[in-house]
Amino acid sequence: MSQSIELRHLRYFAAVAEELHFGRAAERLGIAQPPLSQQIKSLEAMVGCPLFERRPQVRLTTAGEALLEVARRTLAQVEEGLELTRRAGRGEAGRITVGFAASILTTALPEILRAYREQYPGVELRLRELSSAAQAAALADGSIDVGFVREAVVQGPDLICEPILREEFMAVLPPAHPLGGREQLPLIDIAGEPFVHFPRAVAPALFDQIADACGRAGFQPRVVQEAQEWLTILGLVEAGLGVSLVPASFSRLRWGGVQYRALGPPREFTDVFVCFRAAALAPAVAPLIAIARSTTSAHSQSTEPGHALLEKGGAG
C-alpha cells in the first residue's frame, strides 16, 4: 500500500534540514532520534530519492533543497490557516451579513457599524437593506446573520428580537408653518393638516405605529401625497404639500427649511430591535450585538438637542 506524505513528515524533515543534525533535530522536536531517522527514511521512500547526504556530515541533496522550500511554504500556510481558524472562532475574522430597515440608518446604526469595523477589522461586513418581513425570512434561511428592524419579527423558535433603542416620533412641518412656533405639538393639533406619507408596503411596522398613534389621538391622517423615499417625503413637506410624522432621529436630516417638532403630550414612541438566531449565532455576531447595546445605551444617556430623542426601552 502506498503511503501519503503527512504534515509530520514535513515538520520532521524541516527540523533536520535546518539543524543538519539528527540528534539536535530530535531534541528540538521532542522525540527520540531513532524514530526521527525512520520517519526521514520513510519520506525518502515516498519521494523516491535521497533528501540528505549522511556522510561525512549531514547535508541536503539537491532534491532536499527543493523540498525544503516546499515544506516551509506548506507549514507556513497551514499555520496561517490555523490562526485564521482560531481568530474566526474568537469572532475576530470571517464574514457576517447585516440586514437593516431604511429608517434605521438615521439612528445609531452607522456609529455601531463604525465601532465594529474599528474593533474587528478582520471581519468582513456585508450590508443588506431589507424590510422587517424580508429580514425575518433571511434570518430563517441564514442569508443574513443579524438584523435591525422596527418591529419584533417572529419566525422560528430560536429567533430573538431584542429591543435596544426607543425614540420619539416628531412632526415635520413646512417652513414658516404656523404650528412651528411651538416647542411641542399635541398630535391632535395636526389632525386637520394634509399628510405626506409612505405606502404601508414600504415599512409596515412604522406605518402601523404612526396609524396607531393617530388613532389614539382620535383621527386618521388625511394623506394627500404618497412617496416611497424618506428624502422625497421631506422634500414634499418643504414644498408645502403637507406635514408628516417621522422617528426623531430623522431630525438629523437637515432638509431645506422643514421644521421638526416634538409631539406631546402624550409622547409617542417607536422601538428599534436587533434580531438574530440564537442557535446559529456566528462568533463574529456576538460582538456586534454587544456594541449595539453599549452604543444605544450611551445615546440614551446623552442626547443632543435637535437630534434623536433616544432612550433605552422595551417593546411596548
Domain 7-89: which CATH number of 1.10.150.20, 2.40.50.140, 3.40.630.20, 1.10.10.10: 1.10.10.10
pLDDT for 155: 60
**Residues paired with residue 251 on neighbouring β-strands, in sequence order:** none
| 226 grid coordinates | 404618497
Cα–Cα dist 280/273, whole Å: 18
Give CA separation, 186 vs 215, 246, 265, 267, in Å. Answer: 13, 15, 6, 8
Cα–Cα distance list, 298 to 85, 108, 165, 175 (Å): 33, 10, 11, 32
- Which mean pLDDT values do the consecutive 10-residue runs of the chain (316 residues) have? 79 94 94 93 93 92 93 90 76 86 90 94 92 86 92 75 92 94 93 95 86 95 93 94 94 88 92 89 90 80 38 28
Domain boundaries, the chain: 7-89, 98-157+273-304, 165-269
Q: One-letter amino acid identity for 77?
A: Q
Whole-angstrom distance, CA of residue 283 vs CA of residue 54? 50
pLDDT at 311: 31
According to CATH, the topology of domain 98-157+273-304 is: D-Maltodextrin-Binding Protein; domain 2 (3.40.190)
Please report the pLDDT score of residue 310 as a whole number.
31
Q: Say if CB 311 and CB 166 are below 8 A apart.
A: yes
Rounded to whole angstroms, how far apart are CA atoms 104 and 124?
21
- Which option is the CATH number for 165-269: 2.60.40.1180, 3.30.2270.10, 3.40.50.1780, 3.40.190.290? 3.40.190.290
Same fold, 7-89 and 98-157+273-304: no
